[in-house]
Structure 1
Amino acid sequence: MRITRVICQKVATYVERYSKYNPSPLSMQTLLDFGSKTGTEESSFEFLRDELLVRLANIMKEFNLLPVSFQQRGSVAMVRNWYQQSFIEITEFEKHNPDRDILEKFTETLNKIRLRHSKVVETMAKGVMEMRDAFEGESRNYDQQITYFLDRFYTNRIGIRVLLNQHLLLYGGELAHHPQHIGCINPSCDVEEVIRDAYDNARFLCEHYYMCSPDLIIESYNPYEKADSIRIEYVPSHLYHMLFELSKNAMRAVVERHENKPEIPPIKIAVCKGKEDLAIKVEQLFGYMFTTAPQPQPSHMMEGSAPLAGYGYGLPLSRLYARYFQGDLVLYSMEGYGMDAIIYLKVKDAMECLPIYNKTASKMYETDTSAPDWSSPSPWTQARGYSTIGGGNVSRGYSTLTDGQGARRTLRHN
């Protein structure tokens, strides 16, 4: 018991130390240049052994600010233990020089960490369900705090996973899915190809659940380039995740709305690439755990398949994937007609958008509701994340993010 207590105190000391540093956000161009021109396995090791500790420590500090009742949920405690274990494993490399044995051990450790964290989203979602079931009918309102934390926690996870994948794909002996990839990034990602891939897989699920599915129509606009296809520098798996979730939602909405009609109208997706941004518009619901579909049961699922709907995490996570590289995913509703979803992505100069642990962030966990800062609630204020009368369940998770400027080695001044 005494040994365990000493280990926990040592970890807490390390976490406190590394949480005082800001994460170092990387640009898409930096990642591409490092992977194709300037980077080495040794320099990647030297950067990651510090940067991963900083990113882990920043989000581990925010775990302590969550309501105790949420921290004590079995699934949440499990995720917290995974992060602590990963943090401990990386600290073992803190004072080592990158010789061949150390580099191989480091790669093995990163692979183990990636595997350990592969079920984080589902496990944390289970923890949220456990808490809501436990306090159902009570007056406690933790939604705003937990939504704020989940936005930051999952964004932090995306950033850590990108760093892990980059190192393992470049130096860990893994093969990229495409010969053009530089790590997990495709410098010439074919947007229409990803759209069709996401649509085909969503269509497979739709036909399994509904025995039918809508067709797809893609309209492309590329006024500034003379090219047959629209291509951007991006992480294809991130774009696929967004498009797969939007395709699932669109298919379900279209099929259920037209199930008693002789024909099902197609899904229309428009792609437009400008000088600064790429927009993808899908005919088309946000908040964690919000879903119009019943929660799927394992017995009703095909082996190895994902449910068409029911967990309520698809769209919120898709929005975080879009925002991670300074894009966004927004919804526009037209009463009596339907809803459109638009993905905005930066065409150039995209940089990681990462949560930072500081006093501003910690204040978001101090109260259950926000004081009103508008005279009356409106769709305009709510859509932009401003608080409303009574606070409600409006998430303001991104209002406190900074641009992450400042070197990682520079201590934060709160």
Structure 2
Amino acid sequence: GSSNACEKTSFAFLRQELPVRLSNIMKEINLLPDRVLRTPSVQLVQSWYVQSLLDIMEFLDRDPEDQATLGQFTDSLVTIRNRHNDVVPTMAQGVIEYKEAYGDDPVSNQNIQYFLDRFYLSRISIRMLINQHTLLFDGSTNPAHPKHIGSIDPHCNVANVVRDAYNMAKLLCDKYYMASPDLEIEEVNATNSQQPVSIVYVPSHLYHMLFELFKNAMRAPVESHESSPRLPPIKVMVALGQEDLSIRMSDRGMGVPLRKIERLFSYMYSTAPTPQMGTGGTPLVG
């Protein structure tokens, strides 16, 4: 049927597209400073990409009309996705290893910053392609999200994702500090004031962004108000306009000095102590 034709089309596209994307980012990894490339963590990440490229290349000459081939391809994509689950913390550990061994070098830091921006964007795109194929063609429907198109929610309720991300960050904060700020959400829907804000989006992407922001928004207020009887709440505004969605998160964590503003988006900088790898839990910062 049509679904089988779509699977063949997706197979034909991905077996050509994924090797290109994997090869491009592998080429960029090789352009990193030698001292970064020599760290055990970066070498491990490199080995994952090499193996995944080899796995995909096995399907370049396979017959898309063969149903067994399509099934094997989907299984291979699941294996690749799982292999790369820990790429982000492992690459971050590589940066930490480099920094501990060689200290701060402005030129190398700039190169690493440029690379990591492109590396993580590439990873998002590759995982998005893999997830769409595996979720659509593995032969089952996700019972928790039957209306999702792969990983895309045509009616993603933004406030619900905000609450989910807050609740997970709150669990972490309570674990580390035995306290956490409350959440206050305000929704502004300029397209329909009677309806909650919903958009076509990938909920897992939105959740991840919000979860990281909530972790930051919780740590600073807890540490700066440790002698207060009650922590100030985190206020989130979700505003949907005619063209775009904006989410503003406000905490009372005493802010950041103006001289440090430019460093906030650097992978090499953090206002918190370096989290320890291999402790078995998600760090509240990192």
In the aligned structure 2, how far is the partner of 1:77 from the partner of 1:90?
20
Q: Is 1:172 the counterpart of 2:148 in the alignment?
A: no
Q: Is 1:287 the counterpart of 2:261 in the alignment?
A: no
TM-score (norm 2): 0.89
Q: 1:175 to 1:133 in 2, by over 3 A?
A: farther
In the aligned structure 2, how far is the partner of 1:173 from the partner of 1:272?
37
Q: What is residue 94 of structure 1 aligned with on the other side?
A: 60
Aligned with residue 76 of structure 1, among 42, 47, 60:
42
SS of 1:217's equivalent? strand
SS of 2:84's equivalent? helix
Greater relative contact order (Cα < 8 A, sep 6+): 1
In the aligned structure 2, how far is the partner of 1:55 from the partner of 1:47?
12
Q: What is residue 115 of structure 2 aligned with on the other side?
A: 149
Aligned with residue 186 of structure 1, among 143, 153, 162:
153
Q: Contact 1:186–1:234 (CA<8 Å) still a contact in 2?
A: yes
Provide, for residues 86-109 of structure 1, a one-character-per-residue CA deviation record: whole Å limited to 9, x for no partner. 111111111222111110110111
Q: Contact 1:168–1:174 (CA<8 Å) still a contact in 2?
A: no
In the aligned structure 2, how far is the partner of 1:276 from the partner of 1:92?
43
Q: CA deviation at 1:173?
A: 3.6
In the aligned structure 2, how far is the partner of 1:84 from the partner of 1:178?
34
Q: Is 1:306 the counterpart of 2:282 in the alignment?
A: yes
SS of 1:232's equivalent? strand
Provide, for residues 70-124 of structure 1, a one-character-per-residue CA deviation record: whole Å limited to 9, x for no partner. 2222211111111111111111111222111110110111011011111111111
**Which amino acid in the other structure matches residue 112 of structure 2?**
I
Q: 1:250 to 1:183 in 2, by over 3 A?
A: same
In the aligned structure 2, how far is the partner of 1:289 from the partner of 1:38?
46
Q: What is residue 230 of structure 1 aligned with on the other side?
A: 197
Aligned with residue 212 of structure 1, among 179, 200, 214:
179
In the aligned structure 2, how far is the partner of 1:245 from the partner of 1:227?
30
Q: CA deviation at 1:50?
A: 0.6
Q: Is 1:66 the counterpart of 2:42 in the alignment?
A: no
Q: Contact 2:190–2:242 (CA<8 Å) still a contact in 1?
A: no
Q: What is residue 85 of structure 1 aligned with on the other side?
A: 51
Q: Is 1:117 the counterpart of 2:84 in the alignment?
A: yes
Q: CA deviation at 1:140?
A: 7.0
Q: CA deviation at 1:227?
A: 3.9
Q: 1:257 to 1:105 in 2, by over 3 A?
A: same
Q: Contact 2:93–2:277 (CA<8 Å) still a contact in 1?
A: no
**Which amino acid in the other structure matches residue 293 of structure 1?**
A
In the aligned structure 2, how far is the partner of 1:108 from the partner of 1:38?
16
**Which amino acid in the other structure matches residue 128 of structure 1?**
V
**Which amino acid in the other structure matches residue 90 of structure 1?**
I
Q: What is residue 218 of structure 2 aligned with on the other side?
A: 251
In the aligned structure 1, how far is the partner of 2:234 from the partner of 2:153?
26
**Which amino acid in the other structure matches residue 176 of structure 2?**
Y
Q: What is residue 101 of structure 2 aligned with on the other side?
A: 134
Q: 1:175 to 1:306 in 2, by over 3 A?
A: farther
Q: What is residue 26 of structure 1 aligned with on the other side?
A: none
Q: How many residues align?
A: 271
| Structure 1 residue runs without a partner (length 5+) | 1-35, 312-414
Q: Contact 2:153–2:203 (CA<8 Å) still a contact in 1?
A: yes
Q: Contact 1:254–1:264 (CA<8 Å) still a contact in 2?
A: yes
**Which amino acid in the other structure matches residue 45 of structure 2?**
V
SS of 1:93's equivalent? coil
Q: What is residue 170 of structure 2 aligned with on the other side?
A: 203
Q: CA deviation at 1:58?
A: 1.2
Q: Contact 1:198–1:243 (CA<8 Å) still a contact in 2?
A: yes
Q: CA deviation at 1:286?
A: 2.0
Q: Contact 2:109–2:268 (CA<8 Å) still a contact in 1?
A: no
| Structure 2 residue runs without a partner (length 5+) | 252-263
Q: 1:140 to 1:208 in 2, by over 3 A?
A: closer
Q: 1:226 to 1:241 in 2, by over 3 A?
A: same
In the aligned structure 2, how far is the partner of 1:140 from the partner of 1:147?
10
Identity %: 53
SS of 1:118's equivalent? coil
Q: CA deviation at 1:242?
A: 0.8
More helix by share: 2
Aligned with residue 49 of structure 1, among 2, 9, 15:
15
Q: What is residue 255 of structure 2 aligned with on the other side?
A: none
